[in-house]
A and B are shown apart, each in its own frame.
Chain A
Amino acid sequence: MIHRPPETLEDRLFEQIEQAWEAAGAWPELVAAMRHSLLADPDSPPASGAPRPPWLRLPLLCCQAAGGDPGLAEPAAAAWVLLYAAAHLLDSTQDGDPPEAWWEPLGPGPASNVATGLIATSALLLGSVPRPVDHRLIQDFFQTVLRMSSAQHFDLTVRSPSLDDCWRMAEAKSGAFFGLACRAGARAAGIDEGLVSHYSSYGASLGLLLQIGDDLSDLAAVGVDAAGRPGHGRMTLPIAYFLSVAPADAVRELNSVRADQGSLLRPGRGVVEMLREFGTGLYLTVKVHELRQRGASALRRAAKPSPALEHLLEMLESIPPAV
């Protein structure tokens, strides 16, 4: 069921966002920074025609797969992508990640303020949804944000989380957030709540797959410190697995590896070799297959065959990209 080209829908979403900024009287400097944060490639200027985040279509596709007009999920999709950009930005500043080019000259303080603006815009757009759907939608959005904040607090303050802790945090952050996108989209189609929960499960699996990819990417991008943790100090799934199974002498050896990029990929017994030797790649690959199967199974229970369903299933297979 297609009512409008998806490009038109996306344009309308961004028009709604721009209108919310204008109506609120947001200053142009903040608006420019918020525009940057919403690009899939934030290092490109907004006027360059850089692609928008691919996740934007997740609520629209779920609404469509559930038999609804994707236009019904527009406010939820716009609100969700704003929160996605805010969460990404806050996560980067809180972890001390290398800044993206657009906010490097601003610094982490102003970047955090941009995230505040994005969150406020998200709330404004959710408030524009016609009743009686709005109350439940807003509750769902901000209850999810609170759970994500809880997990982030744990992540930032607990020094040595276990492997189980890491999965619990991933479920409460990426899993819950992508579950929200899919749940909100499917709910906009007006389907039964029992079916909505399957879309939520699908989104949670997708979010956890992304977390596995992000954790591997984090290790690759920033290396590990003397304790085997990524340079920004956050525990990742590969290292948490290693620490959960490796004997004390292997952990000591990992700790002895110098904290530089070369230690990650150096020939012989670098960090990658140590991780591989203890089955880290195999473990994560099993988890990837488990999540893909779980996500696909949930989706097939809820959605009838359609191009939207096929696209959603393809997403599961494309993340992380190498398995």
Chain B
Amino acid sequence: MKLEQIVHRMATDEGFASAVRKDLEGTLAREGIQLQPEVISALRSTLSGADEARDLLSLLDPTVWHSPQFDPQTS
């Protein structure tokens, strides 16, 4: 199963989403879902920090979006 299918299932199947949030790796193993370790790690990072305010889609609001602003300084 690909990441997009897993994420879509999380978005549309509350039971699955809840199980993933409680026990990510256990749920994936029970469902026979194999993901690369870096994808599992990214999923864990997302779940541990996800809330509405951090939803990337907030960037679709032009009042929120700004071009990348950073000013790396060699020092």
Residues of chain A having any CB pair with chain B under 8 Å? 2, 6, 51, 54, 57-58, 60-61, 64, 70, 163, 210, 212-213, 216-217, 219-221, 238, 241, 244-245, 264-265, 271-272, 275-290, 293-294, 307-308, 311-312, 314-315, 318-323
Interface CB pairs A-B, < 8 A, 12: A54-B69, A217-B65, A238-B60, A277-B11, A279-B7, A279-B12, A282-B55, A283-B8, A286-B46, A311-B73, A314-B70, A315-B70
> In the complex, A64 Cα to B65 Cα: how many Å?
31
Encoded as 1 (CB less than 8 Å from any A CB) or 0, chain B from 37 to 75 comes to: 011011101100010001111111110111111111111
| A163 x B4 contact (CB < 8 A) | yes
Q: Which of B39, B42, B68, B71 meets A320, CB within 8 Å?
A: B68
| B46 x A217 contact (CB < 8 A) | no
| B70 x A279 contact (CB < 8 A) | no
Contacts A6-B74, A276-B55, A320-B68; is A283 near B3 (CB within 8 Å)?
yes
> In the complex, A264 Cα to B67 Cα: how many Å?
19
Q: Which of B10, B39, B61 meets A279, CB within 8 Å?
A: B10
List B contacts of A322 (CB < 8 A).
Answer: 54, 56, 58-59, 64
List A contacts of B46 (CB < 8 A).
Answer: 282, 285-286, 289
> In the complex, A33 Cα to B55 Cα: how many Å?
39
List B contacts of A54 (CB < 8 A).
Answer: 68-72
List A contacts of B12 (CB < 8 A).
Answer: 278-279
List A contacts of B67 (CB < 8 A).
Answer: 217
| A311 x B39 contact (CB < 8 A) | no
| B68 x A311 contact (CB < 8 A) | no
> In the complex, A323 Cα to B49 Cα: how many Å?
9
List A contacts of B41 (CB < 8 A).
Answer: 289-290, 293
> In the complex, A315 Cα to B43 Cα: how many Å?
21
Q: Which of A163, A220, A280, A319 meets B65, CB within 8 Å?
A: A220
Who on chain A is nearest to B75 by CB? Answer: A307
List B contacts of A285 (CB < 8 A).
Answer: 46, 50, 54-56
Q: Which of B3, B5, B39, B56 meets A288, CB within 8 Å?
A: B56
> In the complex, A265 Cα to B58 Cα: how many Å?
10
| A290 x B60 contact (CB < 8 A) | no
Q: Which of B43, B56, B61, B62 meets A284, CB within 8 Å?
A: B56
List A contacts of B39 (CB < 8 A).
Answer: 286, 290
| B11 x A282 contact (CB < 8 A) | yes
List A contacts of B7 (CB < 8 A).
Answer: 245, 279, 282-283, 286
> In the complex, A219 Cα to B4 Cα: how many Å?
20
> In the complex, A211 Cα to B70 Cα: how many Å?
16
Who on chain A is nearest to B57 by CB? Answer: A281
> Which of B39, B56, B59, B75 has the most chain A CB atoms closer than 10 A to its own CB?
B56
> In the complex, A216 Cα to B72 Cα: how many Å?
23
| B71 x A287 contact (CB < 8 A) | no
| A286 x B3 contact (CB < 8 A) | yes
List A contacts of B73 (CB < 8 A).
Answer: 6, 311
List B contacts of A163 (CB < 8 A).
Answer: 4
